[in-house]
A and B are shown apart, each in its own frame.
Chain A
Amino acid sequence: MTANPGAEVTCPSCGAPTAVSDSFCEACGTELAPPMVSTAPPGYRAECPVCSVDPEAPPSAITAEGYCESCGRKVPSGRDHSELDLGLLAGVTDRGLRHTRNEDAMALATADAPGGPVAIAVVCDGVSTSPRPDDASLAAAQASVRALLTSARRGDDPAEASLAAVQVARQALIGIGSPGEAPSATYISAVVGSDAVTVCWLGDSRAYWLSTGPDTARLSTDDSLAEEMVARGAMSEAEALASPQAHVITRWLGADLADPEPHVVRFEPPGPGVVLVCSDGLWNYQPGAPGLAQLVLPAALTDPLGAAAELVKFALGAGGMDNITVVLAPFPLAPFPEEPPHPKTVPVQRQETLPRRTPP
């Protein structure tokens, strides 16, 4: 515990001194170290990538479902591919090659908490068969990360804060549905502190601890039929992954599951490494922790954004059958920057970023 934690921070906007536990500057009201969410960036306006560059074509409207009213093309949304970089951790989410929209959402935050810097990541994967899965995952991730950020700044116990945040996320997700609808999503949060990682989840989005040593491990267990089969010894992991039930989840976030009972795990890393939080769009192609470690280390220790982008590229190259979300937080956390990091979102049009698949 620092003796006088408040004196070291100033508001990046007006320079007034602020306490580390403050969410907003008392002087000018600027939000301090705001969380970042993988939504469309402010001012983003969807436009047809084809008709907008044709000087002959009249300006065309975009339908509610996201298609160009003139040529019919699906217009890239701000969520198709976005990259978030908060310095202490970074994430990339991508629509993949088979789905028409990105139903994954991620939300990241950092805090200069009483016990030192904290990095927070939340990843939700909307359940495709439920209504508005893209809105559901986003609402849940956004609500949860704010709750976790507030708790971290207060110095609350991360395990208790994580469980409380699940309830906040669930209410936010239920709130977007109309009566009779039950939007649903998977949920996973990771709170990385100076001595431990707290992971809390429902469903089959995963967290891993990746290092060069034997401590490399998966931190979460899936709430899925496949995992249950493996746990009971009825199938091998490879068989379970190949089975049609592999992705049937047994717990999730949604109005149709009244008391979801999230799991919480606390992990103390024995040395340096990286915390990976991801959706099944990544781990489908590399479920094993040692394999994932090989893919991202050592790059992820110093360049989490670049390493996350590499992992997304790996999943796209392997088929990109699902939406892909990857968040990486190197451990131990870097010292909290003197000025809160300037948040960066990178909406990129797919055409430029996606490798074209070569026929097998």
Chain B
Amino acid sequence: MTESGFTVDVDQNEYLPEGGREVSAIVTVASAADAAGLASPGPAGAEPDGSAEIIIIDCSGSMEYPRTKIAAARAATAAAVDVVRDGVLFSVIAGTNLAFSVFPADGSMARADASSRAAAKQAVAGLRAGGGTAIGQWLDLARQTFARYPARLRHAILLTDGKNQHESSEQLAATVSQCEGFFSCDCRGIGTDWEVKELRTISTALLGSVDIVPDPSGLAADFEAMMANAMGKQVADVVLQVWTPQHATVKFVKQVAPTVDDLTDRRTPSGPQAGDYPTGAWGPGESRDYHVGVEVTPAGLGDVMLAARVKLLAKSASGTDVLGQGLVRATWTDDEALSTKINPGVAHYTGQAELAAAIQEGLEARKAGDEETATAKLGRAVALAHQSGNEDTAKLLAKVVDVVDVETGRVRLKKQVEDADEMALDTRSTKTVRARK
């Protein structure tokens, strides 16, 4: 590990045939396992901890059907509150077609200690369901609440059981873009009446996770885990800065492990030949892989070019720290044995990205009644999951299709599919397995 506690490694085949333009590399970013080794850039400031947490609970009328949902939400929120570290600012928001501050009731944030946690749990125990669903309103209140306090790390947990019905999708999108880069948000859907695509849009923009909690009894453990994960984050606002040579284009930048997340369109220009891609906050012992694709102007045989320089930067109010960097190279050769060699990491993650897309497109087609496309796409997904050893995804697929031949991906759509199984497959389609090195 370097002084910053981060390492950046590049895995690629740098050899291109004469005239070749496409350069592809897997960039692995890892943080030190030991929390003390991680750099926390900038001065600690006035905040003793610097973290702020908001839990947003859906209290729409449907949360009463079945009753266990609102009860589970109350219990899960209490479990999460228990994990909030002493000194961290926190609050709880209830959402309907409007949004309310539940604790503290005046819309402020409380500093966590034994008495504030007890008061929060008491307030949460009194939550009742009733009203509609306007997720944008909830996020907006969270944004305003966060904005009242300086903090280094802002994170929210959002729980819903339904679709965004009481505001337009444009309203929601506008609020999400206001929140982007300001706080991160993990989203959970309880039951099966919510929309995967809607929550995924929010969680992707806000650099968080999305998952289904089909059974209310599983919610408390999930909330606790999410909050514990958030408490472990130490370095906020980490970006990948990608420099490319003149006349070169970045074709894509994707996170490919632990989940697929396309960052290509989220580039912020940061210099004449550089752009920043957000990666969110990092805790100790994390490792994520990124697939970077660059198109360069070919040079002569034997020439070597720096096709991209990937810098890992931590941005804070006090400035920018370089945490590490990796170099992506291109070398032109007439040796076909070198230029035709496919890098195993690149091949693996290209397959994992295709797997995620095949599942999402297959489920979309299935919903639209296009059985032929659904069968083809989900079949392809079965074959890809099998080839890459992605067993979790293979198991989820087997609940939606009957597998005839796993090698070629010949499948039949199941006649009866549980909604929860289909939604679990959809939400978890982006989970990848690591490339073997």
Contacts and interface: CB of A to CB of B under 8 A. Distances in A.
B302 A350 contact: yes
Nearest to A96: B302
B19 to A, nearest CB: 13
Contacts of B248: 72
Contacts of A65: 306, 327
B329 A100 contact: yes
B302 A71 contact: no
A356 B305 contact: no
A67 interface: yes
B302 A67 contact: no
Interface in B303-346: 303-307, 309, 327, 329, 331, 333-334
Contacts, number: 49
A211 B247 CA distance: 55
Given A100-B329, A357-B334, A70 B246 contact: yes
Interface in A308-360: 350-351, 354, 356-357, 359
25 contacts: A63-B309, A65-B306, A67-B327, A70-B246, A71-B245, A72-B244, A72-B296, A72-B305, A72-B306, A73-B299, A73-B303, A74-B303, A74-B305, A97-B302, A97-B333, A98-B333, A100-B304, A100-B329, A100-B331, A350-B302, A354-B302, A356-B301, A357-B301, A357-B334, A359-B334
A137 B110 CA distance: 61
B301 A73 contact: no
Q: 9 nearest interchain CB pairs? A: A72-B245, A74-B304, A67-B306, A72-B306, A72-B305, A359-B334, A71-B245, A100-B304, A73-B305
How large, as a class, is the contact surface on chain A?
A: 10 to 19
Contacts of A73: 245, 299, 303-306
A63 B306 contact: yes
B336 to A, nearest CB: 8
Nearest to B331: A100
Given A65-B327, A71-B246, A72-B296, A356 B304 contact: no
Nearest to A356: B301
Interface string B65-103: 000000000000000000000000000000000000000
Contacts of A357: 301-302, 334
Contacts of A70: 245-246, 273
B326 to A, nearest CB: 11
A100 B329 CA distance: 10
Most interface-central of B296, B307, B329 (chain A CB within 10 A): B329
